[in-house]
Structure 1
């Protein structure tokens, strides 16, 4: 066989494995697709109808517990990311089909690739705790407190890192492969292709963090408790090992998920900043024009249409260019994506105006939204709220194995936790690490309002109940 044909055949085989419809956690073979509703469409449906997805409706996107209508929550953000992800997946697949010698693998259409990315995007924030990133910081800070050191010393280095560098991404993978139960266990039993696209960080905390450091900040996508499922997923998809650490390289479609998230972050979150009077129209419009590829000399407040309508028009034009540019970068770098050697995000391989626009958007959000006094005050409240819940419930993780009679408060706290444990078919045992994760499942599964209300009640503030 000529070298170019052998190479083409090898590339096609790689894509076949990456589009694997085998369901993680199931021994059944992936079904032969005989209808328009593929296994990947079923993934999307399972996610949309899940309890954890519904909880995103009152979880923070950027602004905790805002009372202003029209401001994004994690649910509306996830829906919008999934729309962009679907477009990226379909367009990238169409361009890839034209580039590959033999086209896409037989039985895989651009629509299939689109719905894989769409399903992964709808799940990308499903493991986020209440109050968004402020919730992650609160959990990490709680475990870093010196009072927790005697307990942490009873855990392995890997287990300690899971808590000190706590990640909503890893909580999401845990939820998908363990917590949202299929009747026969095994989590939601999503296809390996969808889970691969979902995994922005297919490695453990020990792969990206220094176990000797007191402060862990590097992202990771899997707790030690789900390491076996990560290994199974990587084997199913034939993911190569990362050239940077001992974890795995990303699934190529995970780069499209990341791009979809960044596009919504760069465009939609800035619009929220205007509606909350944190940003001005000219500031945001200038970035939109940069992403469109135009640079008007002056940007005035629109007079013929409303600011909201004007931004929507600019956003649509910016999104069209970004989707086209990102998918070009995906196809141009497909070899590096398959080999797991691509450096940076897809944006790093785009036109300079796109790179500058995304950078400016992130910088503007960092300066004027994330450090705005209103947001800072709400994040301090969120931190206190989660610390109160952790103070109350977490001691159950290490007192559960004691045969001694528990104080009244712990008995009642356990009664609040028990329905969650029963639903997960678990019980508190003599394994402190698994007990801690079970309690974190309970707390991080709450939406912002549930967490705030329970924290207030535990402090005796009954008047705040709604």
Structure 2
């Protein structure tokens, strides 16, 4: 791969900018303004990151998380590619290319979660589980649905993924001018495709992270292939996808700890105890151990300083300062992971996450494991997720039954007809555009996609409101 192709400025719908001679923005900076001005981006403010249905004003939403990822990704781009240029690791790279790369990464951070359904990652899990439990029980025209759809169509629902939904939203569902979505550059779209495989190609045992999940649906295969062929990142990740992933990991691993301490899921004392006792053995070598121990010592130092200054809540102050420190450490580690494996990344053969091959690996693992044990496995979170599950169960049942018979000769009930009237006009328009001339089984598949499209477009608040309205709850 080379940066001339990787920084492809192609869009699905071309347009001329010659009439705006005073506009000095590069194509990727134009993408930025398309994103922040979009309703799809604004909806992230009412989608939770970790705490479903939480109405506190401190914890992260998808919007604040995306802003953090955007900032980290851009910073990583500057750190990494200035190093590559300074040490002559790629003679074809220029300062102009670095500006473009940083613009791409800044935009990618904003949209990397834009396809995720409401109620955090639990929402993705529930959609998958619902289809695995129910799709083989549903019939259409006297035949079982799992006999009508192809394996890839079925697996798109069984392995439903917010990453694949993001590509779909950005290229088809976000109606602005026409059916081309936001019409973003192919480089930006390729950067958010973390897993460049279909739902039938997932292989979690391959040893290559790109095969862990799916990155595109059967419905979007043509646009996916056009993107990767245009950038040259065929059968591998785009190099910038590694940087985006690292920025995402750093943002959520550190934020989850800060939010957990603020909401009382874990105390300063418990955090320090676990960091000291549980994870030293995870260090792969002396340098990784040294980085880890230095970080733990910093947490103690910040607590002592807060006490000396008479701060009313020294524990929270120490953790908040420490999180900022840890973010800096992990950013440097991720940058090292990329620059030290640059050749393999550009060849498309690098199989791991950047932090996993850096001295920050043990520290990153510890943060994720502590958040998992004290937050994700807590009774309070389980209660919130059960409530969210009730909403999903109700909506998916109602919407799927109505969508299956929509736009067919089969009789639909008065309720089913009314349910389809509340589905977003944008998604209905996309269905009608892309179902023209298709075979009946593919139309059925697209109608089921219409359900997931509508659900994923909901905010937490709207999903809860719709559930209450349709179920007759005051």
TM-score interval, smaller chain: 0.7 to 0.9
SS of equivalent to 2:214: coil
Alignment length (residue pairs): 434
Kindly state the Cα deviation for residue 26 of structure 1 after the two structures are TM-superposed. Answer: 2.4
Shift in alpha-carbon separation, 1:444–1:298, aligned structure 2, 3 A: closer
Paired residues of 2:42 and 2:63 also in contact (CA < 8 A):
yes
Shift in alpha-carbon separation, 1:364–1:101, aligned structure 2, 3 A: closer
Paired with 2:71 and 2:238, the residues of 1 have a C-alpha distance of 20
- Matched with 1:296 is 297
Paired residues of 1:203 and 1:221 also in contact (CA < 8 A):
yes
Shift in alpha-carbon separation, 1:296–1:174, aligned structure 2, 3 A: same
Paired residues of 2:250 and 2:327 also in contact (CA < 8 A):
yes
Paired with 2:369 and 2:89, the residues of 1 have a C-alpha distance of 42
Match of 2:6 among 18, 28, 41: 18
Match of 1:263 among 250, 253, 276: 250
Paired with 2:150 and 2:402, the residues of 1 have a C-alpha distance of 19
Paired residues of 1:291 and 1:321 also in contact (CA < 8 A):
no
Structure 1 residue ranges (4+ consecutive) displaced by more than 6 angstroms after TM superposition: 29-34
Paired with 2:299 and 2:408, the residues of 1 have a C-alpha distance of 70
Whether 1:383 and 2:389 are equivalent positions in the alignment is yes
Kindly state the Cα deviation for residue 33 of structure 1 after the two structures are TM-superposed. Answer: 10
- Alpha-carbon deviations, 1:286-331, whole Å to 9, x = none? 7599658344399357423344433332222222222222112211
Whether 1:179 and 2:173 are equivalent positions in the alignment is yes
Kindly state the Cα deviation for residue 79 of structure 1 after the two structures are TM-superposed. Answer: 0.5
- Matched with 1:445 is 457
Match of 2:343 among 335, 342, 350: 335
Paired with 1:228 and 1:34, the residues of 2 have a C-alpha distance of 35
Match of 1:147 among 132, 137, 155: 137
Match of 2:194 among 174, 196, 200: 200
Alignment of 1:73-222 (within 5 A): 73-100=61-88, 103=91, 105-106=93-94, 108-145=96-133, 146-148=136-138, 150-208=144-202, 218-222=212-216
Unaligned runs of 5+ in 2: 205-210, 277-289
Paired residues of 2:406 and 2:420 also in contact (CA < 8 A):
no
Paired with 1:274 and 1:95, the residues of 2 have a C-alpha distance of 36
Paired with 2:94 and 2:23, the residues of 1 have a C-alpha distance of 15
Kindly state the Cα deviation for residue 100 of structure 1 after the two structures are TM-superposed. Answer: 3.0
Which shows bigger deviation, 381-390 or 36-45?
36-45
Paired residues of 2:199 and 2:214 also in contact (CA < 8 A):
yes
Paired residues of 2:402 and 2:412 also in contact (CA < 8 A):
no
Which shows bigger deviation, 294-303 or 374-383?
294-303
Paired with 1:283 and 1:260, the residues of 2 have a C-alpha distance of 27
TM norm structure 2 = 0.84
Paired residues of 1:124 and 1:172 also in contact (CA < 8 A):
yes
Match of 2:25 among 37, 49, 56: 37
- Alpha-carbon deviations, 1:257-288, whole Å to 9, x = none? 11011111221111110111111124446759
Which shows bigger deviation, 451-460 or 362-371?
451-460
TM norm structure 1 = 0.86
- Matched with 1:223 is 217
Paired with 1:404 and 1:114, the residues of 2 have a C-alpha distance of 52
SS of equivalent to 1:108: helix
- Matched with 2:263 is 276
Paired residues of 2:197 and 2:213 also in contact (CA < 8 A):
no
- Matched with 1:5 is none
Paired residues of 2:260 and 2:375 also in contact (CA < 8 A):
yes
Shift in alpha-carbon separation, 1:30–1:318, aligned structure 2, 3 A: farther
Paired with 1:342 and 1:326, the residues of 2 have a C-alpha distance of 14
RMSD (CA atoms): 2.8
- Alpha-carbon deviations, 1:82-108, whole Å to 9, x = none? 111110011111111123366453572
Paired residues of 2:428 and 2:450 also in contact (CA < 8 A):
no
Kindly state the Cα deviation for residue 236 of structure 1 after the two structures are TM-superposed. Answer: 0.7
Kindly state the Cα deviation for residue 373 of structure 1 after the two structures are TM-superposed. Answer: 0.3
